Amino acid sequence: MHSLGSALADVASRGGFVTAADVARRAGVSRSAVSRAFTPGASVSKDARRRIIEAAGVLGYRVNRLAQSLNNARSNLIGLVGTDLHQPFHASLLAELSSALLAEGFQCMLLNAANAKRDMAALIARVLEYRVCALVVMAGTPPTRIIVECLRNGVPVILINKLLPTVAADTVIADHAYGGRVAAVRLLAAGCRRLAIVSSAARTASLNGRIDAFRARAAESGVRARLWRRGPTDYRAGFDAAHAVLADGSVDGVFCVTDLLALGFLDAARHVFARRVPDDLSIIGFDDIPQACWSAYRLTTFRQPTDALGAAVMHAIRRRAASPGAPPRLVTVPVELVERSTVRAHAGARE
């Protein structure tokens, strides 16, 4: 068995990481014994395992998971792919997912598909070359080709807030239709009768679900909701929307399909059009991003629980690993109305 001083000197002179061979020399065992000691279920004697673990601890050895994955069909990498990752909700979802994955021993590969149309082949190659054990498609509009190519190569895919009925992928989606219906009910209950919906030009399943449900519920009460739908899903689009929607002074209730749109709309309503919120204009958002509860906004909105979305994704990954041939499953996660200060009290309560 090598002395500790000589073992460390060998590593220092060579440079780089401590290797399994270094541990083997220190412990007086074979290289293959070291490998078996760090492989769950592999056979190695108690005495050898003890010496190997002790030597690894002294030398500071860490298993090379990338090299280990070469012997398997899959790595322990989970690909996280999405667009608009700078948006607050997507950033919160990414933080939740990466934390949950790391807690269960997975490694995360983040893939920004914002520019994938220009370099689609490179993005697909990155996912497949690293043999990811699953691909999680986050909220947004990543190209469908990525999903199809992964499924074709046997990579399980979990979609978040993205409906693709033609592909066999597990799907986790917030209850956007419920949010749209309840938003209409809440504004109607506040006495609003001249309603508007503010959305971006994006035609995602999430936004469409909110819009369609809101319009349908308003129509049930004999109210036709005006739809403004332009630009990106950001603060500036909401600010611009207010100039179009509030120009004639008639609208008294607005459902903004994301909080970023709502915050822009709210600032323009107050500071450009001098509308009193919520006294003569009620506004509801969606997502409950951190900025929604800032004292400058106190936005009434719907909370998409990133913890529940993350838990559903983790369950789908475990289920797919245990039963690769299981049929795809759709899981709907409830959303919650968070009452703050941008919607009037119920009309009955003011009488």
Same domain, 166 and 207: no
Q: Are residues 88 and 164 both part of a single domain?
A: yes
Q: Would strands 253-256 and 282-284 be described as parallel, antiparallel, or unpaired?
A: parallel
CB 81 within 8 A of CB 114: no
Q: Is the pTM of this model over 0.85?
A: no
The answer to whether residue 68 is domain-embedded is no
pLDDT of 119-152, one tens digit each? Answer: 666 777 777 777 888 999 886 666 677 788 888 8
Same domain? For 24 and 158 the reply is no
How many angstroms separate the CA atoms of 332 and 292, rounded? 24
Do 161 and 185 have their domain in common? no
Token pair 């506004």 is found at 283
What one-letter code names the amino acid at 35? S
* Residue 71, domain member (yes or no): no
Sheet with strand 195-199: strands edge to edge: 226-229, 195-199, 253-256, 282-284
Confidence (pLDDT) at 264: 98
Residue 208 sits in a domain whose CATH number is 3.40.50.2300
Phi, psi of 213 (to 5 degrees): -70, -40
Task: State the burial class of residue 298 (Cβ atoms within 10 Å of its Cβ: 0-12, 13-18, 19+).
Answer: middle
Per-residue pLDDT of the chain (351 residues; tens, 9 = 90+): 555 555 544 544 545 577 888 888 888 898 888 888 877 677 888 898 899 888 888 888 776 655 555 455 556 889 898 877 888 998 999 999 999 999 988 888 888 777 665 666 677 777 777 788 899 988 666 667 778 888 888 889 999 998 888 888 999 999 999 999 999 999 999 999 999 999 999 888 899 999 999 999 999 999 999 999 999 999 999 999 999 999 988 999 999 999 999 999 999 999 999 999 999 999 999 999 999 999 999 999 999 999 999 999 999 999 998 898 899 999 999 999 999 999 999 876 543
* Residue whose tokens read 């002395």: 3
Asked if 167 and 93 sit in the same domain, the reply is yes
Query: Domain check: are 28 and 58 in the same one?
Result: yes
Same structural domain for residues 243 and 277?
yes
> What residue numbers bound the domain in which 156 lies?
77-175+306-335
Same domain, 169 and 181: no
**Is 139 domain-assigned?**
yes
Q: For the chain, what is the domain count?
A: 3
Do the domain assignments include residue 126? yes
Q: Packing angle between helix 235-245 and helix 259-271, nearest 10 degrees? A: 50
In a domain? residue 16: yes
In the block, tokens 């600010």 appear at 239
